Amino acid sequence: MKVPKISEAVVKRLPVYLRYLNNLKAMNVRTVSSQQLGEALDLNPAQIRKDLACFGEFGRKGIGYEVNYLVEKIKSILKLDQQINVLLVGAGNLGHAISNYNAYLKDNMKIIAVFDADPNKIGKKIANLTIQPLSELKETVKEKSIRIGIIAVPAEAAQSVADCLVDAGITGILNFAPTNLRMPEDVRVHDADVTMELHSLAYYL
Amino acid sequence: MKVPKISEAVVKRLPVYLRYLNNLKAMNVRTVSSQQLGEALDLNPAQIRKDLACFGEFGRKGIGYEVNYLVEKIKSILKLDQQINVLLVGAGNLGHAISNYNAYLKDNMKIIAVFDADPNKIGKKIANLTIQPLSELKETVKEKSIRIGIIAVPAEAAQSVADCLVDAGITGILNFAPTNLRMPEDVRVHDADVTMELHSLAYYL
DNA sequence: TAGATTGTTAATCGATTAACAATC
DNA sequence: TAGATTGTTAATCGATTAACAATC
């Protein structure tokens, strides 16, 4: 099997395509060309075709891409055709907000467990999930086949929480804490620090 | 004046440097080399030197960079030496969490106004800011010299909110809504859709 | 002075865009 | 058939990394 190296940039764009294609699907649009996608998403049509061609031949010359078919294909590339269970660590303001994201994640991705270090929060509920102590993390990950962890704790606690996640077998982390996590090579970390986004935005003012 | 074109990648890394340098500063570290920074942040030392060299000669050969000095320089590059006022639209779960970020933004960046479309929320308080109606947005932006807007509303409302922001003179937007905003060229949009981050993370599992 | 480390040039690497034959 | 649009190759562009003279 041919396994061409897929760049990070390509992978970041796939969910963008998926999101827009889902809109088209909801509007019962049958087919779409790379030209139309490019206009809607502010991307070069050649780039879109090349991105998709990394994974197969999904379009038809002279016609374009069938929306429903492409949605399924991208979902499968992103593994969203499988059940992907997610856990959240941190039941503060941000954690509370994130726990409500299940509606957006849709389909097969779901936040199914929440943890916090604060004894006073254990047992309480957010978004109908019961807050568990960190001591139960490893076991829950195994039992419920959790594959992604979201870190929404203060910076000071983030590294040790991340270490716990890795120890439990998690290999994908979305980190909201304002700190650089040191992780083994096989663990993928996506940073989502609001402060950093605002700071880089300021440059362009 | 020499104005070399600064790439987006460089600008995204500046806040990363700043965050770590602030840690060093808090630990009373005097100087740091690109080598040390690179190890801590998982970046190539040459890249760090090159990034910084875009803006001036901040280091000393044989010595490295003076931490306090570099902090000030990067702050000034990012315009964080000026007062930067930020507004937030959307007082739902996410908006509530974001309104508590002022502690992290520090210094001169501050969320100073919150808006929502829901009449029932007008007048209520989150993080000691009173929720205002969108009708007051334009005036408030002028009065309080607000320069950045954060969008934390549902996807359906995001484009029209963004249009309001642009109409009010905002040129920097941090968009949490899961939708592609169509904006004039001079408006800078940073996307922060949690769903997309999780979806792209799934690819690597 | 000797060792360390910058700023910068040159080399490499990778990503984006243009162009076009294939074909629906 | 004629027009449209893909998949893909080649050309371009830009970003990262290596290497080193300058110098603290």
| DSSP per position, B133-156 | EGGGHHHHHHHTTEEEEEE-S-HH
Residue with tokens 């490019």: A38
d(CA B38, CA B93): 37
Q: CB-CB: which of A92, A104, A178 is closest to B104? A: A178
Closest nt to residue B57, judged CA to C1': C7
Q: What is the pLDDT of residue A153?
A: 97
Q: Which two tokens stand for residue B72?
A: 């000030």
Q: What is the pLDDT of residue A4?
A: 61
Cβ(A48)–Cβ(A36) below 8 Å: no
- Other C-beta atoms within 10 Å of A38: how many? 16
B200–A14 C-beta distance less than 8 A: yes
Backbone angles phi, psi at B91, to 5 degrees: -110, 35
Whole-angstrom distance, CA of residue B202 vs CA of residue B205: 5
Nearest residue to nucleotide D23, by CA–C1' distance, is B61
Which nt sits closest to A62, CA to C1'?
Answer: D5
What is the least distance, in Å, from the CA of A82 to any CA of chain B? 10
Dist. CA A148–CA A133, nearest whole Å: 18
A69 backbone dihedrals φ, ψ, rounded to 5°: -65, -45
Task: Quote the DSSP letter at residue A117.
Answer: S
B99 — phi, psi (to 5°)?
-60, -15
**Who among A93, A101, A198 is closest to B195 (CB)?**
A101
Residues A35, A42: Cα–Cα separation, whole Å: 10
Q: Residues in chain B with pLDDT < 50?
A: 1-3
pLDDT at site B4: 61
What is the per-residue pLDDT for A2?
42
Mean pLDDT, each 10-residue run in order, chain A (205 residues)? 75 97 97 97 97 96 97 97 97 95 88 97 95 98 98 97 98 97 95 96 96
User: What domains can you pick out in chain A, each with its CATH number?
Assistant: 8-77 (1.10.10.10), 84-200 (3.40.50.720)
Sign of the Cα pseudo-torsion (A99, A103, A108, A109, in order):
negative
Mean pLDDT of chain A, nearest integer? 95
CB contact under 8 A, B11 and A203: yes
Predicted pLDDT at A175:
98
Indicate the residue type of B4: P
